[in-house]
Amino acid sequence: MKFQPTGFALVLIFILLFLFAYWVHTIFSSLSNKKEKYISLLRSTIITLLAILVCLRPMRPTYTSDALLKNVDVLFVLDNTISMYATENKQIRMQRVAKDCQYIMHQLSGSNFAMIRFDNTSQILSPFTQDERNITDILSVITYPDTYYASGSYLNTPYKDMESLLISSHKKENRMTVVFFLSDGEITDDSKLMSYQELARYIDHGAVLGYGTTKGEKMEIQEGLFSYPLIDPTTN
């Protein structure tokens, strides 16, 4: 708590003290009943103190980083391959991804957020925006990839879209860029992971959030309203 009275407020306080002294004089000179005197005195004192408190302009300082966070671009890169829909501890991996993204947005509220989704292909679902609701809506409608369309996990897919958004962020003055790459890290198409080192010059901070397990997890194929277990013929 701190006080920030203005010069005019100090004049008002002086006037209030003068009036209070006048009221005290009037109360004791005009009232004969002791009880009435003290009640009137108490009422006048409370009114004067409250008025002085208003003039002193009490304030509780709050510290916010909104102004700073407006200069932060946060890019989510989401692996949306079939393996991201495996179930771990009764929760689908992609549901954990959505919760983690919501947590990050809450912690970095006021920043600009963008999102890339990739499976067989990469897609920019949202350019950088301060509309967090837009990202929340996107997370709620990301769907299970088409089983017949899916051709395995290829972690090089989002590179070009990442490069495009990161360059656009880098061109802005006094901008900090943060990247979160969310994936189970599994490559199933026999490809070799390319280096993302060239993109490092556009990134200030970031993290890779992993959702896989060494032992693997159960998965189901979804076709319309129906789902059934996915069986790997190489292990059965």
Encode pLDDT of 34-50 as tens digits.
788 788 888 888 888 88
* pLDDT, tens only, 88-101: 777 888 999 999 99
Query: How far is the C-alpha of 227 from the C-alpha of 220, rounded, in Å?
Result: 6
* pLDDT, tens only, 8-34: 777 778 888 888 888 887 877 887 777
Query: How far is the C-alpha of 200 from the C-alpha of 162, rounded, in Å?
Result: 11
Nearest to 76 by CA among 110, 114, 109: 114
Half-sphere exposure in the Cβ direction for 60 (13 Å, CA)? 0
pLDDT at 136: 93
pLDDT at 228: 45
Percentage of residues in the chain having pLDDT higher than 70:
78
Q: Are strands 176-183 and 122-129 parallel, antiparallel or unpaired?
A: unpaired
3-class SS at 24? helix
- Average pLDDT score over the chain: 81
Percentage of residues in the chain having pLDDT higher than 90:
36
Average pLDDT of the residues in 206-211 = 92
Whether the per-residue pLDDT at 63 is higher than 60: the answer is: no
Q: Where does the pLDDT of residue 166 fall: very low under 50, low under 70, confident under 90, or very high at 90 and above?
A: very high
- CA 222, 133, 161, 200 torsion: positive or negative? negative
pLDDT at 227: 54
Return the CA Rg of the chain.
32
Whether the per-residue pLDDT at 148 is higher than 70: the answer is: no
pLDDT at 57: 73
